[in-house]
Chain A
Amino acid sequence: MTISADHTAPGQTGQGRQSPDHSEEPRNEGPVAEAVRKFGITAEDYMLPARHQIQMVDQHGNLKPHSEQGAEPGHEYPLPGDEELLAAYEQLVVGRRVNDQNSALVRQGRMAVYPSSHGQEACQVAAALCLSEGDWLFPTYRDSVAVMTRGVDPVQTMTLFRGDWHSGYDSAKYKVGIQCTPLTTQLLHGVGVAHAAKLRGEDTVVLAMCGDGATSEGDFHEALNFAAVFHLPVVFFVQNNQYAISVPLAHQSVAPSLAHKAVGYGMAGERVDGNDVVALLAVLDRAVKLAREGSGPLLVEAHTYRMQAHTNADDATRYRQDSEVAQWVARDPLTRMKTYLADKGLLNDDGEARIAEKAEAVATQLRNGLSEDVPVDPQDLFKYVFSTPTPQLKEQSALLADELAREASASASTNPESAK
């Protein structure tokens, strides 16, 4: 028996409301009951995060003993395979290069703005790599690297920040929502995509991303509650990078952790070292697997750090100390992974060079693509408001066309050379 509100569970249609004693049915039977049986823990212990965050590789690149990884009964995470880890490292290097290239392009005036995920690349990469082909990703404005890791063309990804349109990639084709600026509104879209897929009997999983500050938003609450009540395969992935622009987490929430919020919705939560891509993949892979198997939604909180300012328009020195940043630089997700893989014999100088070359190729693609002067068509303003332009929009479109035609002919008559 599934939870009573799960009116869409196979074979249970209509049972929830009609069963007079449904409120006494155990909630979240599947994975909770399994954990309770298997590990002898309570449902609350299953839903509450493990006592410590999950960390598998420490900041020096050493694999921690299993007993120190933070695992507990019901919170067990197998070590991801070497191939997956090597692929993840490659994406980390590419992601770092993308972040730094884009920041440089902003400084050069090639892009209006870029919210960098420098320091958060492990979260970015794991969020994309844990998904299968038919799954959906719902990113925020800071998640460009996750979008690219999911397979979207880098230059198309940057369209929003280049400024020639709001989104440059086809969301439906890539199954990647457009990068969302209004905080946590996209989590509900992820819930809806998962709900539609579930109603059609598809096994789609949705991973929906937000930051620590965003957990204060009402839509965060509504999205988690809807996903839980409708028992939907959504993994909510919170990158806790410690700051919402300038406001530290302590001003957003006094919950023991953001992962603790999960139990309030009847879902399982976990916290993980967000700079340890090994632990991230372990936790997210399992969350996606559980969601696909019908566990309902899960919440994963990753502890990471926004090593740079919110955007180029922000001055981080106004609200945090350099010494704090330095502590986190020492926990960099790339250096520890490089050490770990090298020590394991999975990465040598040749491999490093090959990966660096790939990263440089993406950076070149970005430089070239974003240096291009992309022609914009002013008539596009009117084309995509409705499926068919209204008479009013046609009128306004003609007005603009006329204005431009007059400007062009005026400039041709005052400057006949340029018209040639």
Chain B
Amino acid sequence: MSTVTSAANGNVSSATARAAASAAATAEATGPQPVTMAKALNTAMADAMHSDKSVLVFGEDVGMLGGVFRITDGLTKTFGEQRCFDTPLAESGIVGMAVGMAMNGMRPVVEMQFDAFAYPAFQQIVSHVAKMHNRTKGALKLPMVIRVPYAGGIGGVEHHCDSSESYYAHTAGLKVFAPATVADAYLMLREAIDSDDPVMFMEPKKLYWSKDMVDVEALRDQHAANAEAGTSTEGRAAVARPGTDATLIAYGPTVPTALAAAAAAAEEGRSLEVIDVRSIVPFDDETVCASVRKTGRAVVIAEAHGFASVSSEIVARVQERCFHYLAAPIRRVTGFDVPYPAPKLEHYYLPGVDRILDAVDDLQWED
């Protein structure tokens, strides 16, 4: 019931409250409904804007158009041009202005239109977003979210399909979230906006239109309950599918692929556990390592190039912590170390079920 609760918190005109409530009402009736990840993200922003006047959304084409992926659809109409607006076409400007706004009492949520379009903002992200809290010994916090539609699998042309999470994960001071399910998309975006630390929010764009059966009202209640209890999904991986023989570790767009591989393996009599990392930074060593210690075998799956990446970090961490439990070296199935390929070649590049199963087969089962 967070919509009603937050309206009661004041600061929102009743017309706005009604509009938000009716917009929300279209997203869910009662009980679980098929909801897309796009709608879940949209609802998360609308709910956050509704409950906190300092939450602002801006970026390129996010206003009247609702974003090129329509993730911000209706926010300008509901909350007005002061709360959700288009900026000039300049990513460093978007992020740099958000830094100043966060320094001065706002909670900006900005959209980078595509993964590779965020690179002009890299200096702002690395030199300021990540470091302001540290440089000022905590005097200035930057509660801001940088949403990045990322990764491939949509037949996009070059510069539209990069997996850029490793750049951000490598940067001390940034939290990096990568939801893979509709429910997590809602909860994790709410938590990212609630966070007093800056969050890189990596949205797997090929999953935007994937649907799960979700009770949005229950998610709101869960978010409210989590917030009250001081718990969150931040830093907590999820067991997406329990299993006993080997662990598949995935995040974002490769989680459904890992689940498909586990389903296929089950038909061949092999029980694979799938871990959805969810929060790349902070990383949940505990859940990941508990699974690997249990199964003794692991494959890490990521779309990004494998070299010097999040996947290599996961392998290193698990190896350091689980060496004596391992029956075989940890394998990785990642993108090749080539620039993201043209649409007709991307299926050779992307981690697929067969390649994952081949890697699982290589985990020294004969020993």
Chain A residues closer than 8 Å to B197, beta-carbon distance: 386-387
Q: Is B140 an interface residue (CB 8 A)?
A: yes
Is the pair B235, A391 in contact by a Cβ cutoff of 8 Å?
Answer: yes
Q: Is A182 an interface residue (CB 8 A)?
A: yes
Is the pair B100, A390 in contact by a Cβ cutoff of 8 Å?
Answer: no
Scan residues 167-203 of chain A and give those whose CB is less than 8 A from a CB of chain B.
Answer: 167, 170-173, 177-178, 182, 185, 187-197, 199-200
Scan residues 209-227 of chain A and give those whose CB is less than 8 A from a CB of chain B.
Answer: 218-219, 221-223, 225-226
Scan residues 260-301 of chain B and give those whose CB is less than 8 A from a CB of chain A.
Answer: 281-283, 285-286
Q: Is A383 an interface residue (CB 8 A)?
A: yes
Is the pair B133, A386 in contact by a Cβ cutoff of 8 Å?
Answer: yes
Is the pair B105, A196 in contact by a Cβ cutoff of 8 Å?
Answer: yes
Q: Is B141 an interface residue (CB 8 A)?
A: yes
Is the pair B82, A188 in contact by a Cβ cutoff of 8 Å?
Answer: no
Is the pair B99, A188 in contact by a Cβ cutoff of 8 Å?
Answer: yes
Is the pair A193, B104 in contact by a Cβ cutoff of 8 Å?
Answer: yes
Q: Is B196 an interface residue (CB 8 A)?
A: yes
A14 to B84, CA, bound (A): 11
Residue among B81, B100, B120, B140 with the highest chain A CB neighbour number at 10 A: B100
Given contacts A188-B100, A392-B282, contact A385 B133 (CB under 8 A): yes
Chain A residue, CB-CB nearest to B283: A392
A191 to B81, CA, bound (A): 18
Is the pair B173, A385 in contact by a Cβ cutoff of 8 Å?
Answer: yes
Given contacts A189-B128, A197-B104, A225-B90, contact A386 B175 (CB under 8 A): yes
Chain A residue, CB-CB nearest to B286: A391
Q: Is A60 an interface residue (CB 8 A)?
A: no
Is the pair A13, B81 in contact by a Cβ cutoff of 8 Å?
Answer: yes
Chain A residue, CB-CB nearest to B126: A182
Residue among B87, B88, B120 with the highest chain A CB neighbour number at 10 A: B88
Chain A residues closer than 8 Å to B93, beta-carbon distance: 188, 191, 219, 222-223, 225-226
Contact among B136, B140, B282 with A391 in the assembled complex (CB-CB below 8 Å):
B282
Chain A residues closer than 8 Å to B173, beta-carbon distance: 385-386
Interface size on A, residues (CB 8 A): 48
Contact among B90, B99, B172, B195 with A192 in the assembled complex (CB-CB below 8 Å):
B99
Is the pair A385, B172 in contact by a Cβ cutoff of 8 Å?
Answer: yes
Chain A residue, CB-CB nearest to B140: A171
Contact among A16, A178, A200 with B135 in the assembled complex (CB-CB below 8 Å):
A178
Q: Closest CB-CB distance, A161 to chain B, in whole Å?
A: 14
Q: Is B124 an interface residue (CB 8 A)?
A: yes
Number of A-B pairs, beta carbon distance below 8 Å: 155
Is the pair B139, A218 in contact by a Cβ cutoff of 8 Å?
Answer: no
A380 to B133, CA, bound (A): 12
A16 to B100, CA, bound (A): 24
Q: Is B31 an interface residue (CB 8 A)?
A: no
Q: Closest CB-CB distance, B134 to chain A, in whole Å?
A: 5
Q: Is B103 an interface residue (CB 8 A)?
A: yes
A391 to B197, CA, bound (A): 16
Is the pair A7, B82 in contact by a Cβ cutoff of 8 Å?
Answer: yes
A243 to B266, CA, bound (A): 69
Given contacts A200-B105, A222-B92, A386-B133, contact A172 B140 (CB under 8 A): yes
Scan residues 3-55 of chain A and give those whose CB is less than 8 A from a CB of chain B.
Answer: 7-8, 13-14, 16-17
A184 to B99, CA, bound (A): 13
Is the pair B137, A223 in contact by a Cβ cutoff of 8 Å?
Answer: no
Chain B residues closer than 8 Å to A189, beta-carbon distance: 96-97, 99-100, 103, 128
Chain B residues closer than 8 Å to A17, beta-carbon distance: 63-64, 81
Interchain Cβ contacts under 8 Å between A and B, 6 examples:
A17-B81, A166-B135, A182-B127, A196-B106, A222-B88, A383-B138
Given A192-B101, A225-B93, output 9 extra A-B contacts at Cβ < 8 Å. A17-B81, A166-B131, A171-B140, A182-B128, A185-B92, A187-B96, A192-B108, A383-B137, A390-B283
Q: Residues of B with Cβ closer than 8 Å to A?
A: 56, 63-64, 80-82, 85, 87-88, 90, 92-93, 95-106, 108, 120, 123-124, 127-128, 131, 133-141, 172-173, 175, 195-197, 235, 281-283, 285-286
